[in-house]
Amino acid sequence: MLEENGLKNRLVHRKEKIYFVAALVFSCLAYLVLLFSIVGFAIMVGIILISFFFHALSMASIRRNGVRLSEQQFPDIYQKAAKLAQEMDLEKMPAIYVMESMGMLNAFATRFFGKNMVVVYSEIFDLVEEQREEELMFVLAHEFAHLKRRHVLVHFILLPAMFVPFLGEAYLRACEYTCDRYAAYYVGNVEAAKEALTVLAIGKKLSAKVNKQAYVQQAEEESGFFAWLSEQLSSHPHLPKRINALDHWHNPEQSPLVVEKKTGIIIGTILSIVLAASITGAAVFFLEGATALTAFLEDPYLVEDEYMYEEDMMDFPPVIQAYMNEDMDQVQQLVAEGADINEKDSDNNTALQYAVSWGDSEAAQWLIENGADVNTTDNWGSTPLINAVFNDADNELIELLLANGADKTIKDSEGKTAYDYAVENRDAKLRDLLK
């Protein structure tokens, strides 16, 4: 296991929650529009049924033809996978199937009638024969992380947002960064994680010979509008950037993030907005009562990309912005200079709310010790304590909040307390803490 301080508190990529909220709001509005339209409702039901039918057919074929790992089938790998699933606190061991892939390198997590599945293509599973089990375990842990974070489950809820140019892809890319971190942490080997990603780039035979530093630099050199656009339209970040992101997460001082050259991005942004507006206009033409939805789509916040976000499009207060940049030294300096530690963003979140939501116990403790309000509420009426329980934070963080006066009786906008969420999460220890 990686034991460096703070790594476990930074497993979730900071943009995943932001894009999730944006995608959820859009999807809820889209569902409302469809529900109030007879044609729209029929389209929605049809898409759901067709999608379910073909997904069920595909999964049934894999279950019948793929080789399922078990105590009798590749028992060594199965036992290691089971141990990994237990360490990652998965409720049940997912069913793992290996299937022939005609040379393709891939793996994915999915659900079939409420049961979690992981499918690994044989080209990746062959790593076992080359004594490269840690690379294979990284791939499995990455897919387990999708299940741990419930990405597969919420994808159905966010289906309308997946059709919005740039928004759905941005959320999926953030999820990939999160799962890379989870996998590297629980496998306990960043080098094996980077090696596994390199395998996806060049294959198993040559991956060990790749100069990974030069490969990361390639992402800076191969720039321009179309290079940028190809990633914005993809559900996965470009592989050099995933390797660079892992290095930066593991050792930010020695491995700064690759920053794209801005050439062409302004033009790309304009074209992107035009494309999004065109698609939005077509949707409005065919759907009744879509005026509110159109206004939402025209909000530039929804089409921001990773680098536009870095340019403060959301205009966070200084303390929150410094924390989101993972710069606690700047946070401490700002507070020492008189900045309001309880200043809120547009969603009424404080820096403490973000620290708690990301499971960052060290930052949360410092913020509390320096005057952060443990009972502040956001736009949804959630306190840091409620958000900690909702996001499955460590008991240590929850005990920290309680020890510093967190009110267990406060209810959010849904009328639920932190205890109610502990009951939903089936966490007996938390229930006892919050009684």
pLDDT of residue 227: 83
Question: What phi, psi does 231 have (nearest 5°)?
Answer: -75, -40
pLDDT of residue 376: 92
pLDDT of residue 307: 37
| Rg (alpha carbons) of the chain, rounded to whole number | 23
- What are the helix (H) ranges across 325-393? 328-336, 351-357, 361-369, 384-390
pLDDT of residue 282: 54
Q: Are 257 and 306 in contact (CB under 8 A)?
A: no
pLDDT of residue 111: 80
Q: How far is the C-alpha of 135 from the C-alpha of 137, rounded, in Å?
A: 5
For 223-233, letters b (16+ CB in 10 Å) and e give beeebbbebbe
Low-confidence ranges of the chain (pLDDT < 70): 1-6, 260-315
Could you report how far apart the first and last alpha carbons of the chain are, in Å? Answer: 33
pLDDT of residue 78: 94
Q: How far is the C-alpha of 237 from the C-alpha of 255, rounded, in Å?
A: 18
pLDDT of residue 270: 59
pLDDT of residue 27: 87
Which regions of the chain carry the CATH code 1.25.40.20?
A: 315-434
Give the CATH superfamily of 315-434: Ankyrin repeat-containing domain (1.25.40.20)
